[in-house]
Amino acid sequence: MSKEQRQNVIVVLAEPYAQMRRALRSALAAEGFRFVIEVGETNSFAMALNDPMPDVLVVDINLPGERDVLDMLREIRSDKLGRNPFVPIIGTTWEAKPERVRKAVDSGIDDLLVKPVAAGTVIERISVLARNRKPFIVTSDYIGPDRRRPGERPDEDNVPRIEVPNSLKSKVEGKSIDPASWGFAKKEALAALNTERLKAAAFQVSFLAEQLVPAMARDMTQPRVTQFLERLLSTAADIAGRARLSEQSQLLPLCDAVSRVGRELAEIHKGQSNEPDRLAKNLKLLKQLADALLAGFNPDRAAGEMAEQVAQAIRRYQSRVDGAANPAPKAKSG
């Protein structure tokens, strides 16, 4: 990527330390990046996402401000913030705390650099994202570039990879961004992502139902029951909102019914209600609705195949839970 190719690329540099911002901006300018927008906190960052539309973001994952910047990045990927849900995002951080790194990865960033970071490294990463950016994948709780290594999750090799518009690539190739063409490409890619999100969310509802039905029937005081119910309600809300915007809006009544049953079960759980008939009725209904939702959003797949996939997910989850509760003993030194 030559200096001439970089001159029309719009970079948003979100860095809390003014001295570091100036230094990195100067280095970028020296390498041909003429349009670098500097921001130091989250309110300015939000405003920088609209006009002009950025082609790449370089963001400190602990950017100060009224909001958590990582929540904002998730909103970008969900097309709830800014104009470009597919903008390449390079995260930076001084402290690679595991929980913060995990949240950053889950927000849909393309890359994460630990500071101090040389300007040459940032430029090299931008070049990679222009030449060879990874396609997007969608799960029930993630939208963003496929960050899995080859062979890492062979059971998920059938997850569709979706190529999304990349204005950064277009500009370094000398192509102009036509607003109408960009809008059409964005709409098509969002529709594809939405379809996959609906499939993944339906799978998640089925997974949660398979866990909740026996757990609530057996012992409602289990800590996992609360977690499962919260996840069921948030997933049901997400799937209902997306169904309204999809070509499968006829399944909206099913989505709304899952939300109603989830609220009923949450009420029963909250009050530790001694209403066995009401509990049994709603647990039975949840299982029926979950099966119908899974089939409705995956009409091209056999019910047995999907049931086995849900069972595999439950086994993996249970294995992780058991492993956390019973860690392997440490080897004693000789």
3-class secondary structure, 54: coil
Residue 67's Cβ-count burial label (10 Å; 0-12, 13-18, 19+) is: middle
> Thinking of the domain 3-177, which architecture would CATH place it in?
3-Layer(aba) Sandwich (3.40)
Strands (E), 122-277: 136-139, 142-145
Give the per-residue pLDDT at 65. Answer: 93
* Intervals of CATH 1.20.120 along the chain: 196-325
Cα gap 31→81, rounded to integer Å: 29
Give the per-residue pLDDT at 331. Answer: 42
Adjacent-strand bridge partners of 139: 142
DSSP code of residue 257: H
* Intervals of CATH 3.40.50.2300 along the chain: 3-177
3-class secondary structure, 137: strand
Beta strand 56-60 with 89-93 is parallel
How distant, in Å, are the alpha carbons of 1, 31, 113, 131, 279 from that of 124? 9, 11, 12, 11, 57
How do residues 230-247 score in pLDDT, each as one tens digit?
999 999 988 888 888 787
Cβ(91)–Cβ(61) under 8 Å? yes
Cβ(60)–Cβ(16) under 8 Å? yes
Beta strand 142-145 with 136-139 is antiparallel
Mean pLDDT, all residues of the chain? 88
Adjacent-strand bridge partners of 57: 12, 89
Give the per-residue pLDDT at 242. Answer: 85
Give the per-residue pLDDT at 55. Answer: 96
Q: Extract the residue ranges of the chain whose pLDDT is less than 70.
A: 1, 149-158, 272-274, 322-334
Cβ(289)–Cβ(253) under 8 Å? no
- Of 301, 313, 298, 297, the C-alpha closest to 240 is 297
3-class secondary structure, 309: helix
Cα gap 135→189, rounded to integer Å: 11
Cβ(35)–Cβ(11) under 8 Å? yes
Beta strand 142-145 with 56-60 is unpaired
196-325 has which fold? Four Helix Bundle (Hemerythrin (Met), subunit A) (1.20.120)
